[in-house]
Every structure is written in C-alpha cells, then in structure tokens.
C-alpha cells in the first residue's frame, strides 16, 4: 500500500496527505532527474475536510509498505477552478541542473570525478560504478548535470 508524506520546508511538521490525495504518477525510468505529480482534492468547506498543508518547497516522500520509494521537492502548483490542485515534485537531482559551477579535473578517474560533484552538492550516493577513463578537463560555468553528462559521454567513447 502506498502512502504520501509531506515534510514542511522548515521541518516543523510531517503530514500523511494520502487521504486528501486524488492521484499520484511518477517517472520511474532511470534518468538524471525524475519527476512525480500528485493531485490534492480541493474543497471550499475546510470545516468538514482537512486543510491542504502543501506549499512550494516542501518535501514529499512516497512510501510503499514503510519503505521509501521516492523523495522530492514540490516545485510547481497548478490550480484550475474547483478542480484538484496539481503539484509537480522533482527529486534532488533537479538542483544539479539549476546550479552553475567550475570544476577542474587533472587526469582523475571518471567515477571519482562524478563522486566529487555529487558529494560537493550533498547528494547521497551509494556506489558509483568504476569508470577508469581519465578526465582531464576544466568546466567553466556548467551545471553539475552538464558536467556529469559530459564525463559519462567521455567514458562511453
């Protein structure tokens, strides 16, 4: 059974928003960034129905039988009249495409270069597969996602 949890941006409260959620869809293919969308039932009779606690910047966790399946940040909110409120959530890799950085790698293994970038951005990583391709490159004002993509392309060549 799936459950949707919301953690407020300031970490002050956690809500189980499953009862007010109308639908959930998420991108489960292995890409640099994944997205999830969910809809919260909207009613104008709050005294009979729980208040919607969702705000932009809040963290959403999708759980299946007490195991975390997905975690991301609410980035967009869409309202259309009295229809359900649609939220778009991106996982933390979304930030890798939004920031610009400068990196210089002097003939280090591709896997070490990727691990350094992910660590610098506070990304939790399990294990990066061993890629011994030497990376000897200066990246100026590139997003971490662009740098990682370039490193992977160099390794594949």
- Largest distance between two CA atoms of the chain: 63
Set out the domains of the chain in order of their start, with CATH numbers. Answer: 2-90 (2.30.300.10), 95-156 (no CATH)
**Matching residue, tokens 């370039």:** 150
Each residue's pLDDT tens digit, 38-84:
998 876 655 556 677 889 989 999 999 889 888 889 999 998 877 88
Is residue 154 a contact partner of residue 134, using CB atoms and an 8 Å limit? no
Distance from C-alpha of 89 to C-alpha of 87, rounded to nearest angstrom: 6
Q: Binning pLDDT at 50, 70 and 90, where does residue 118 land?
A: confident
Angstrom distance (rounded) from CA 144 to CA 49: 43
Give the per-residue pLDDT at 47: 57
Give tens-digit pLDDT for 134-146: 999 999 989 888 8
Closest CA to 148 of 105, 88, 107: 105
């Amino acid at each position: 059974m799936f459950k949707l949890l919301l953690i407020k941006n300031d970490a002050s409260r956690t809500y189980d928003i499953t009862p007010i959620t109308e639908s959930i869809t998420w991108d489960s293919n292995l890409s640099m960034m994944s997205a999830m969308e969910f809809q919260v039932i909207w009613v104008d009779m709050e005294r009979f129905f729980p208040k919607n606690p969702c705000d932009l910047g809040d963290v959403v966790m999708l759980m299946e039988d007490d195991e975390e399946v997905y975690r991301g940040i609410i980035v967009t909110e869409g309202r259309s009249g009295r229809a359900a409120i649609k939220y778009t959530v991106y996982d933390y890799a979304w930030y890798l495409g939004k920031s610009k950085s400068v990196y210089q790698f002097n003939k280090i293994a591709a896997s070490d270069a990727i691990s350094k970038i992910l660590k610098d951005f506070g990304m939790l990583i399990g294990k990066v597969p061993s890629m011994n391709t030497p990376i000897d490159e200066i990246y100026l004002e590139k997003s971490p996602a662009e740098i990682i993509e370039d490193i992977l392309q160099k390794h594949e060549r």
